[in-house]
Structure 1
Amino acid sequence: QIDQDGLTLPERTLYLGQDEESEKILAAYRVFMERLLTLLGAEEVEQKAQEILKLEQHLANITVSEYDDVRRDVGSMYHKLTLAELQRITPTLKWKRLLDRIFHDNFSEEEEVVLLATDYMHKVSDLIRVTPSRILHNYMLWRIVVVLSEHLSTPFRDAIHELSKEMEGNEKQLERGKICLSQANKHFGMALGALFVEEHFSSASKAKVQQLVEDIKYILDQRLDELDWMDEETRRAARAKLRYMMVMIGYPDFLLKPEAIDKDPALHSLGAGISPDVAVSPQFEVDEKTYFKNILNSIAFGIRLSVKKIRQEVDKSAWLLPPQALNAYYLPNKNQMVFPAGILQPTLYDPEFPQSLNYGGIGTIIGHELTHGYDDWGGQYDRHGNLVHWWTERSYSKFLKKAQCIVNLYDNFTVYNQRVNGKHTLGENIADMGGLKLAYYAYQKWVREHGPEHPLHHMKYTHDQLFFIAFAQNWRIKRQSQSIYLQVLTDKHAPAYYRVLGSVSQFEEFGRVFHCPKNSPMNPVHKCSVW
């Protein structure tokens, strides 16, 4: 799969100096480039930095924003073609030679690849043709330097921090101990995950979360019958997708077998059953005295593992995150939801919590990921994870109309004088709203089956109210004002404040539970609703 890439800054518009904030970031990036090049002993630093920056600005001009309509429609981007056809589109790039070297293979010119950015690749080929090779070489070296400089000495990390301070307002650097923990987590995630699971997540908790997931899936199945905008053919396809959806919870089962981790070089942990001075697997060496070399060894090993997967069947049981990750995800091309043990912890989930807090906490996140299978992006994939349009035109047209209501709602939100982009954040907003509803109705089902929960002592809130409070607390976050600018520009999630207000204000049960007057800001008469 071949796609556009090549920018160091997180969004193309930052290179174009369209407002005061982006001009500040671009100036800080230029200073950062010159500092790093000086530390590396380069000559004519200002000239080299200017040449690299100019090339990146050219790349920014031909890059399509991830939030452009073209990039949201996977079907229109997806082009399967042969290497020979790709070569004709990009004549300055020697694709066969490049792929043969990467994969240690001898590819036929009839080998098929997927191209996701046809226009970009055509233009980048022209750009390479007219750019002096010296500048291209410096640019490629710069891209490597940017990735690896965080692993070098203090002056390099100081330069990174200065750029981060300008972009995100980070005043303090991470302590060295936290940096080391972060890197160990990144490079030996599954091995550390085995220790985390043993300490913090029992098989009993795994079973309880599984039941919670099933309850929320049951509610979506019911909701499908209640949607008046969806016709029967689309409803059957949506229900089939729900039935086939794979759910992975907590951790992969092999982590409970330490001998499997010790034997698998891909999961090897420093000192796991081997001398603490040097831990060696057949393909991956780690030495406590050579930190930077360890990083390079790990990166090279990861590349070798990826290369080996060529032409192999996709492993749908593979985990993209280790168990200790505080995150969850839905993969449309696998029709798969994953909830690592790290997110199944207080305050989001605790088997001893009242169920109102569990359903309002992790329940709304489970509902969120489930709804991603039916948002403007995930809805383009069928039950098997194939890129197939399974909607009838009539139902899809009504879906888009309902989605536009959400776009308009979020377009009217502002934070630090920046307007939230309803189209950029649409998928996440659909998932937030859908997840809130599914979890709430699943909690009501639990109450019907088990009886009302006892009121909490010295607490003035009902359990229905606590459900919504738990949902709001999911998104509590402290941010510097500088980072808000970048978030609105680059993040597919709306700012946390509006993730909460946007969702609850459109749900009639919130207005009822908190006695919000009709047509008040938190209980408008006309509400947006998809799922």
Structure 2
Amino acid sequence: MFGKDSSMKTLAIILLLLFALYTVLLVLKDSDEESSRPSFPPVKLYNDVCKSPECITLAHHLHNWRDISVDPCQDFYRAACGKYTEESLAEGGRLNKKLYIVVQLVQDFLHKNLPSSSKSENAMTLFYRKCEEQKFLNATEVRMNNSKEMLQMINRIGRWPIVDKLLSNMASLGFKYFGIFSVKTMSNFLIIDQDSSRLTISPVDIEKFLVSILTVNGIKPDPQSIQTDVKNILNFDKELAEIKSSPLNYLPLSELQQNISNVDFEKIIRSYMNPKRSRENWESIRNKTFVKVSSYFFNKTRNIDTILTKTPKRTIANYLIFRFILSLSEPQFPQTTNVKFNECALKVVYWFPLPSIRIFVRNYFEKGNLEIASNMVEDIKKSFLEVFEESTWLQDSTKQRAKKKVEMMRKVVGYPKVFEAPGALDKFFESLNLSENDSYFTIRAKVAQFSYQHQLDYIASLLPMDPDFRTVGARAYYKPGENLLLLSPGILDDPFIDSTFPKYAKIASIGQLIGHEIGHGFDPTGRGFDENGFKKDWWTPEDSAEYDRRAQCLIDKFNEYDDPVYRRNLNGNVTIGEIAADVIGLDLSWRNFKKVDLSKEPSIFGFEDENPDKLFFHLTALNWCSGKETMPLAERLTEPHPSHIFRVNGIFSNFKQFAKAFNCPVGSPMNPEKKCDLF
């Protein structure tokens, strides 16, 4: 038995040795064949590795926000952003978070309390200090003092029966929502419109409010008279609200003035202006002032003029004064639940946007990013020209006008260069006179008045940059009425872009954002403006109809999208402007990305062997990574911006290059058979 086993073992060993010898011979044979073939060096995907602190931060976001357990072809948002909430406490994405960073940097600057010859910086410092001091004052005393100052302001604006003078005096204090009408800025235009805001306070609360103001000021209130006045105020407000209208167009101010005799609109508008520049401003603004055409102003039998004619002047005056009193209340600034920031610092940035930008740029901003972004804008515009040239359905006349609009599109990248000069903003702050003796209530009222003057300076082309709060933080936007693209400094800063980033990372990080804003010039609304910013239909009827058909494809795509948060379909008609811009922006960014010579660019740490095309989409998705959706459904249904999830999954799944990069099967969530193409 043992002898038989020994023989079997010997045979097995011999067979194994023969198999090993055969394998060696095969390897030697293959080696000889390989030596006879031409040899090629391995393809080098990148050149070195970027190890700057900014690149390390970018690598951190790419590594730590993604969820590798999720199939990108099933849900790319979760694959790229699934663990964002574990890494960040900020509500919203990094675009929102940048605003808080800028606010903190401005606060740090104000805390230093450095001596300055800049009037704008001194005004900011005083505003901030008075705001902070009020936190430690007795709340009851503050309310009493505010009521006294409120009555002083009411005495300044006047009383009935001279309603017209009342309106212009209110305008001189920066009041723009009169209840009867509103005077608002829109891009570089001034728009007179029906004021849609209504009084929602109960009669009892209004009476208590008025009685408290009179009592604090030593005036004995007449309860019966107040009750009657409040009833008349609310009835007047109700009558104004009953005129329903749907404005479809705009007319110049002269047309409105011919139809309304009870209001001197020119006098009101000129009252807003800095007295030293009133004549100069008016000559520029008069041709930029329009009224929304509606029955509220132009109905032949019942309009605002007929209502004002029959309403007692006492009622009109009381109504205007009460709305003025309400406007003096402190505006509410949203506070996130997770990240707390100084509310006084936020108010400074809100009321002083341009000086805040100047502080950020002078003290914390890498100015080299301006040139990088400016060049990228031009590259993306060139790619858009390629899109139009390649279009198979646009007729030549429309194609040439589209190209001309892109070529003539103006840009403000970061901030105008004139802001770099010392005291560049001070000449625009000469009318803002704040005193150490002013209360915070008075300072805030003065700043609000000045803020509207500032906006009119911009419309009159005297101020080189829009004093809009949106210009602070990480923002980019397009103004169709000016054919103007604006990129705020915050979006041209870490973590979105840095001079040390590889070129492909710069493009992927902000390329879609830039392309998106440029694309707004050709969304369903923006395409109705020409290269000079005038509302004009420059499309052939056939091209216009084809564009609408293609836009409807995008609307249907959103309507059919089963939102994972709300568990239902949403309204694509509301979001089509943003969806169209997203689709355009992603395409333009991709085109620029594919022109980069990767062999001359460093890799991102930890992604040395990553497929570049996959990396592009991961980098682009970072801007939309955010916490859990908190917007109520009713608000979401009317919100023009789609959810962050859709801006990744909905937009990327419409892009065939995404499906190719991740090899997604046709019919999978991220590679549907039906895709939409605008141009």
Residue pairs, 1:294-333, within 5 angstroms: 294-305=443-454, 312=460, 314=461, 317-321=464-468, 324-333=472-481
Q: Name the aligned partner's letter for residue 525 of structure 2.
A: W
Change beyond 3 A, Cα 1:288–1:495: farther
Task: Report percent identity of matched pairs.
Answer: 24
Change beyond 3 A, Cα 1:52–1:507: farther
Change beyond 3 A, Cα 1:350–1:97: closer
Q: Larger radius of gyration, structure 1 or 2?
A: 2
Q: Unaligned 5+ residue runs, structure 2?
A: 1-189, 214-222
Return the alpha-carbon distance in structure 2 between the equivalents of residues 265 and 510 of structure 1: 49
Change beyond 3 A, Cα 1:102–1:30: closer
Which residue of the partner structure matches residue 521 of structure 2? Answer: 373
Return the alpha-carbon distance in structure 1 between the equivalents of residues 463 and 547 of structure 2: 29
Q: 2:647 aligned with 1:518, yes or no?
A: no
Give 1:89's match in structure 2, choosing from 251, 259, 264. 259
Offset, 1:466: 2.6
Q: Name the aligned partner's letter for residue 502 of structure 1.
A: G
Aligned 8 A contact 1:406 1:429 in 2: yes
Give 1:140's match in structure 2, choosing from 306, 311, 320. 320
Aligned 8 A contact 1:246 1:336 in 2: yes
Q: Unaligned 5+ residue runs, structure 1?
A: 10-14, 16-28, 65-69, 152-159, 165-169, 267-280
> Over residues 68-91 of structure 1, what are the superposed CA-to-partner deviations in whole Å (9 max), with x where a residue is unaligned?
xx76xxxx5022362xx4245345
Offset, 1:432: 0.8
Change beyond 3 A, Cα 1:37–1:198: farther
Change beyond 3 A, Cα 1:37–1:233: farther
Aligned 8 A contact 1:52 1:139 in 2: yes
> Over residues 220-276 of structure 1, what are the superposed CA-to-partner deviations in whole Å (9 max), with x where a residue is unaligned?
111111111211111111111111111211122133222334x4243xxxxxxxxxx
Return the alpha-carbon distance in structure 2 between the equivalents of residues 407 and 50 of structure 1: 46
Which residue of the partner structure matches residue 504 of structure 1? Answer: 652
Aligned 8 A contact 2:458 2:467 in 1: no
Which residue of the partner structure matches residue 423 of structure 1? Answer: 573
Offset, 1:294: 1.2
Return the alpha-carbon distance in structure 1 between the equivalents of residues 518 and 317 of structure 2: 45
Instruction: State the TM-score, normalized to the length of structure 2.
Output: 0.60
Aligned 8 A contact 1:403 1:426 in 2: yes
Q: 2:383 aligned with 1:213, yes or no?
A: no
Return the alpha-carbon distance in structure 1 between the equivalents of residues 421 and 534 of structure 2: 34
Q: 2:510 aligned with 1:362, yes or no?
A: yes
Q: Name the aligned partner's letter for residue 429 of structure 1.
A: I
Aligned 8 A contact 2:415 2:465 in 1: no
> Over residues 313-359 of structure 1, what are the superposed CA-to-partner deviations in whole Å (9 max), with x where a residue is unaligned?
x4694334476432111111211111011111233222223444422
Residue pairs, 1:173-322, within 5 angstroms: 178-261=342-425, 263-266=426-429, 281=430, 283-287=432-436, 290-305=439-454, 312=460, 314=461, 317-321=464-468
Change beyond 3 A, Cα 1:131–1:507: farther
Residue range with higher mean Cα deviation, 455-464 or 515-524:
455-464
Specify the SS of the correspondent of 2:372: helix
Specify the SS of the correspondent of 1:425: helix
Which residue of the partner structure matches residue 89 of structure 2? Answer: none
Offset, 1:211: 1.8
Which residue of the partner structure matches residue 6 of structure 1? Answer: 195
Instruction: State the TM-score, normalized to the length of structure 1.
Output: 0.75
Aligned 8 A contact 1:196 1:324 in 2: no
Offset, 1:464: 1.9
Change beyond 3 A, Cα 1:369–1:34: farther
Aligned 8 A contact 2:351 2:451 in 1: no
Q: Name the aligned partner's letter for residue 209 of structure 1.
A: A
Which residue of the partner structure matches residue 443 of structure 1? Answer: 593
Change beyond 3 A, Cα 1:258–1:101: closer
Which residue of the partner structure matches residue 295 of structure 2? Answer: 119
Q: Name the aligned partner's letter for residue 197 of structure 2.
A: T
Specify the SS of the correspondent of 1:207: helix
- Larger RCO of the pair (alpha carbons < 8 Å, separation 6+): 2
What number of residue pairs does the alignment pair up? 464
Q: Name the aligned partner's letter for residue 290 of structure 1.
A: S
Q: Name the aligned partner's letter for residue 656 of structure 2.
A: E
Q: Name the aligned partner's letter for residue 318 of structure 1.
A: M
Return the alpha-carbon distance in structure 1 between the equivalents of residues 230 and 669 of structure 2: 51
Offset, 1:212: 1.6
Give 1:338's match in structure 2, choosing from 465, 486, 489. 486
Specify the SS of the correspondent of 2:485: strand
Which residue of the partner structure matches residue 12 of structure 1? Answer: none
Aligned 8 A contact 2:529 2:536 in 1: yes
> Over residues 281-329 of structure 1, what are the superposed CA-to-partner deviations in whole Å (9 max), with x where a residue is unaligned?
464224375212111112222344556678x5x4694334476432111
Aligned 8 A contact 1:3 1:117 in 2: no
Change beyond 3 A, Cα 1:218–1:57: farther
Residue range with higher mean Cα deviation, 286-295 or 391-400:
286-295
